[in-house]
Chains A and B, each alone.
Chain A
Amino acid sequence: MSTGDNYEAAASNSATDVARFDETSSGFVGKIHHALHVTPALVPLIVLLASIVVFGLLLGSKFFSPFALTLILQQVQIVGIVAAAQSLVILTAGIDLSVGAIAVISSVVMGQFTFRYGLPPGLAVACGLGFGTLIGTINGWLVAVMKLPPFIVTLGMWQVVLAANFLYSENETIRSQEIATQAPLLQILGTKFNVGGAIFTLGVIFLLVLVFLLAYVLKHTAWGRHVYAVGDDPDAAELSGVNVKGTIISVYALAGLICAFAGWALIGRIGSVSPTSGQLLNIESITAVVIGGISLFGGRGSILGTFFGALIVGVFTLGLRLAGADAQWTYLLIGLLIIAAVAVDQWIRKVAA
């Protein structure tokens, strides 16, 4: 075969330093952009620290005390745990509207199995955790195998689980004193201990451990990388050898399990087992995730961001209440934060190709 004009030879003496990235021209804004692109949890961290400083300056020691700051942790523990589950699902470009319902029905299972059937509390708790995992697995199966949109699946599951919760519990609350005397294990995550004026509960410790555990798993295990890959581009992930269905099902199942733990923590927080509690957990968890900088389109963000997002909501809620402002101001500011967070997400996604 003859090549005729050997056009490739003309390129043989060309410059050898190809495709060097010009980093100086990007400037200050470019550097911020790059930093945010690499570490998406920076934005909520900065917002969190700024809001703590602002409220601290405005309110002084009333806000800036170990007691008040750890009170925030206690107030966000349930939302924080549920938001961790929500983060996993949203990282796969899904959404889970049934998180709150799973938490509540799991707590009802733990309570009713103990008091109605007389099971040992430890076994009842295990049943509750298993039940939450089961619902999550069904969600995951419907999304991954039946290819139904996550929004629809979990919207339906939310209603189904909530209704089942009321039917099964007969809308009956198990009172706090009964639990405290007969099955204190159910309230164990509410156990408080004092470290120099700072009040922690086991539920708060659980939240902290959970966040760091998930951060580790997402960053340093193959499964964690697969969660991101599936959320980023499921077709590409499938072609490059990721078990997409398995990953999605495991994510929803794990989310169900974490929500069941949230249900357990909920008993500790409110003392009783109430089928009417936790109604807003789904919206509150999505709020924390979005403010935490996790992209609703999947594949971007970090669990630490979600944790900061939940704390931001907690700081605003407590700070504004201590300042004597109308509670509506909290919602108004949170709403603005959500919109700002999504705007920042869009900006981060813009990458100079």
Chain B
Amino acid sequence: MEPMLKARGLVKRYGKVTALDHCDFDLMPGEILAIIGDNGAGKSSLIKAISGAVVPDAGTVTLEGKEIHFRSPIDARNAGIETVYQTLAMSPALSIADNMFMGRELRKPGFRGSVLRQLDRKRMEEVAREKLSELGLMTIQNINQAVETLSGGQRQGVAVARAAAFGSKVIILDEPTAALGVKESRKVLELILEVKSRGIPIILISHNMPHVFEVADRIHVHRLGKRLCLIDPKEHSMSDAVAYMTGAAVPEAA
């Protein structure tokens, strides 16, 4: 089967630091692929190279068999790849609705939209509210409240809802449950499974082994800037995975 998203020989250097060292990557259609690795293993660099946030020094990325060259996150988004960054990438002073539609605002139909370029605030608010309640992640009273007035978990929820609402090909989640409590984490995991049931593959970066082993179909173990191995969570234990990613054990296949 042709991978949905495939990378071969990705290299990214920052001065003398090699963040990606001829890294390969495969995401199959409809799967949840978890990426695990120690701090500094290059997980974030890999994600940034795929999502257009950095341009790799060498290597190729193909989406549905076609080679792609993202120059910016906007390119990746236009290609249907949505990313929830660890920093969440939201403008604190702007409202929830503004943030959800940042960069893809809806304009009013007819003259007011095409000539006066007026935003369709009402519809954006409706859609934003609908997406948030679909998540059931929070009771937001006012969709127009500034994001900076939300708690960490609520902000995370808004960011995940934004990606789920617009991602059509691939959704990348960088530590989506790191800032969340038990119940909110559960909601995000449920959302991840729901997005998967729509047939959209998900890349999940997480340090939370129980979460990874619960939802992932395959696990990409990242070590020293490249893919060390791919493991099946049904055939390996969490201890195996931790041993591989920290270098305490060497996988048989490698």
Q: Do A and B come from one complex?
A: yes
Using a CB-CB cutoff of 8 Å, which residues 236-268 of chain A contact chain B?
A: 236-243
Query: Which 6 pairs, one residue from A and one from B, show the smallest C-beta to C-beta distance?
Result: A241-B103, A239-B89, A222-B105, A232-B91, A229-B91, A240-B102
Verify if A346 is at the interface (C-beta below 8 Å from B).
Answer: no
Would B141 and A21 count as touching, CB distance under 8 A? yes
Question: Measured between alpha carbons, how far is A217 from B89 in the docked complex, in Å?
Answer: 24
Binding site for B on A (CB under 8 A): 1, 3, 7-8, 11, 14, 17-21, 37, 217, 220-223, 225-226, 228-229, 232-233, 235-243, 299-300, 351-353
Would A242 and B102 count as touching, CB distance under 8 A? yes
Would B94 and A225 count as touching, CB distance under 8 A? yes
Flag the segment in B21-29, B144-152, B200-208, B221-229 that touches A: B144-152
Q: Nearest chain-A residue to B92 (Cβ)?
A: A232
Q: Nearest chain-B residue to A1 (Cβ)?
A: B213
Q: Known pairs A220-B121, A225-B94. 4 more at Cβ < 8 A?
A: A18-B138, A223-B117, A241-B74, A242-B102
Binary interface encoding of chain B residues 62-92 relative to chain A, with 1 for a CB under 8 A from any of its CBs, else 0: 0000000000111001000001010111111
Would A221 and B119 count as touching, CB distance under 8 A? yes
Question: Measured between alpha carbons, how far is A237 from B141 in the docked complex, in Å?
Answer: 25
Question: Measured between alpha carbons, how far is A253 from B119 in the docked complex, in Å?
Answer: 23
A223 cross-chain contacts in B, Cβ below 8 A: 117
Would B89 and A235 count as touching, CB distance under 8 A? yes
Would A233 and B138 count as touching, CB distance under 8 A? no
Out of B94, B103, B116, name the residue touching A232 (CB < 8 Å): B94
Would B74 and A236 count as touching, CB distance under 8 A? no
Q: Which of A21, A222, A243 has the most CB of B within 10 A?
A: A222
Question: Measured between alpha carbons, how far is A200 from B105 in the docked complex, in Å?
Answer: 39
Would B119 and A225 count as touching, CB distance under 8 A? yes
Question: Measured between alpha carbons, how far is A226 from B87 in the docked complex, in Å?
Answer: 19
A226 cross-chain contacts in B, Cβ below 8 A: 102-103
Verify if B3 is at the interface (C-beta below 8 Å from A).
Answer: no
Would A18 and B139 count as touching, CB distance under 8 A? yes
Interface residues of B toward A: which range? Answer: 35 or more
Would A233 and B182 count as touching, CB distance under 8 A? no
Question: Measured between alpha carbons, how far is A228 from B94 in the docked complex, in Å?
Answer: 8
Question: Measured between alpha carbons, how far is A96 from B141 in the docked complex, in Å?
Answer: 39
Would A353 and B74 count as touching, CB distance under 8 A? no
Question: Measured between alpha carbons, how far is A74 from B148 in the docked complex, in Å?
Answer: 40
User: Can you list 8 pairs linking A and B with CB atoms under 8 Å apart?
Assistant: A11-B186, A17-B139, A37-B146, A225-B105, A229-B91, A240-B162, A299-B91, A299-B93
Would B94 and A239 count as touching, CB distance under 8 A? no
A228 cross-chain contacts in B, Cβ below 8 A: 91, 93-94
Question: Measured between alpha carbons, how far is A18 from B99 in the docked complex, in Å?
Answer: 22
Q: Which of A19, A242, A299, A300 has the most CB of B within 10 A?
A: A19
Out of B53, B138, B213, name the residue touching A239 (CB < 8 Å): B53
What is the distance, in angstroms, from B195's C-beta to the closest C-beta of chain A? Answer: 19
Question: Measured between alpha carbons, how far is A37 from B99 in the docked complex, in Å?
Answer: 17
Verify if B107 is at the interface (C-beta below 8 Å from A).
Answer: yes
Question: Measured between alpha carbons, how far is A236 from B98 in the docked complex, in Å?
Answer: 13
Would B103 and A240 count as touching, CB distance under 8 A? yes
Verify if B210 is at the interface (C-beta below 8 Å from A).
Answer: yes
Q: Nearest chain-B residue to A223 (Cβ)?
A: B117
Would B139 and A237 count as touching, CB distance under 8 A? no
What is the distance, in angstroms, from A319's C-beta to the closest C-beta of chain B? Answer: 34
Question: Measured between alpha carbons, how far is A92 from B182 in the docked complex, in Å?
Answer: 38
Would A220 and B119 count as touching, CB distance under 8 A? yes
- Known contacts A19-B138, A233-B92, A239-B89; is A221 also within 8 Å of B118 by CB? yes
Binary interface encoding of chain B residues 140-179 relative to chain A, with 1 for a CB under 8 A from any of its CBs, else 0: 0100001011010110000000100000000000000000
Question: Measured between alpha carbons, how far is A316 from B49 in the docked complex, in Å?
Answer: 56
Question: Measured between alpha carbons, how far is A237 from B151 in the docked complex, in Å?
Answer: 20
Q: Nearest chain-B residue to A10 (Cβ)?
A: B182
A14 cross-chain contacts in B, Cβ below 8 A: 183
Verify if B252 is at the interface (C-beta below 8 Å from A).
Answer: no
What is the distance, in angstroms, from A8's C-beta to the closest C-beta of chain B? Answer: 6
